[in-house]
């Protein structure tokens, strides 16, 4: 019987769920708050690599991934926009401070555009960024433009990187786990830098 850890292994995931499963995972990670633990970056790279070996169609993978990423973010935005007014109406408590939401609104008014694009490349952050954009009442038309831009770059870029390495570099499959580990580490660096900056 498979265990939970195996489901976090990108190679196992792609082989287990196939193309449709990859799309569903990307959709969940992009906008459903419970999808933050999925390994989106490494999953897409691995799926692109497997496409280079003939297991998946690279164009279906890319088109479906871009659509799933953009739709997931939009769902996250509307979820945030729906719960936002209710949260603002609540009185302050130990877990909730109105000033934090006001800061969120101010942040997305100033930096929302670049945040939506850059969040695509940071695990966990990409799950909650669209939800916070909805809570912060970022204008949806503006959100959608940058959501599409980020979804296209991320959704096409990582699978293509895996595909090209798999097609060009002989025996790259021997180093697949190392490459995936490097991708995970690099994708987490911005989050760690942000936490360190806030601690100072």
What pLDDT digit, counting tens, does each position of 171-182 carry? 666 666 666 666
Distance, in Å, from the CA atom of 26 to the CA atom of 65, rounded to the nearest integer, reads 7
Distance, in Å, from the CA atom of 159 to the CA atom of 56, rounded to the nearest integer, reads 11
What confidence tens digit (pLDDT) does each residue in 79-113 have?
988 887 676 666 655 555 666 566 656 666 676 78
Residue with tokens 């831009």: 149
Looking at residue 199, its pLDDT comes to 43
Looking at residue 98, its pLDDT comes to 62
Low-confidence ranges of the chain (pLDDT < 70): 1-10, 85, 87-109, 111, 170-200
Do the Cβ atoms of 79 and 134 come closer than 8 Å?
A: yes
Distance, in Å, from the CA atom of 161 to the CA atom of 42, rounded to the nearest integer, reads 11
CA distances from 67 to 22, 95, 121 (A): 12, 35, 16
């Amino acid at each position: 019987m498979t265990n939970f850890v195996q489901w976090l292994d990108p190679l196992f995931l792609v082989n287990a769920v196939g193309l449709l499963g990859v799309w569903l995972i990307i959709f969940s990670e992009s906008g459903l708050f419970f999808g933050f633990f999925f390994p989106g970056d490494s999953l897409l790279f691995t799926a692109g690599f497997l496409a280079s070996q003939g297991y998946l169609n690279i164009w279906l993978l890319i088109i479906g991934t871009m659509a799933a990423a953009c739709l997931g973010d939009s769902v996250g935005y509307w979820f945030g926009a729906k719960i936002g007014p209710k949260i603002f109406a609540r009185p302050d408590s130990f877990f909730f401070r109105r000033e934090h939401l006001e800061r969120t609104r101010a942040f997305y008014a100033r930096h929302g555009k670049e945040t939506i694009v850059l969040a695509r490349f940071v695990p966990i952050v990409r799950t909650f960024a669209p939800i916070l954009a909805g809570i912060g009442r970022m204008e949806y038309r503006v959100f959608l433009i940058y959501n599409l831009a980020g979804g296209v770059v991320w959704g096409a870029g990582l699978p293509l990187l895996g595909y090209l390495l798999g097609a060009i570099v002989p025996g790259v499959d021997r180093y697949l786990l190392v490459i995936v580990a490097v991708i995970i580490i690099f994708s987490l660096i911005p989050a760690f830098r942000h936490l360190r900056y806030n601690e100072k």
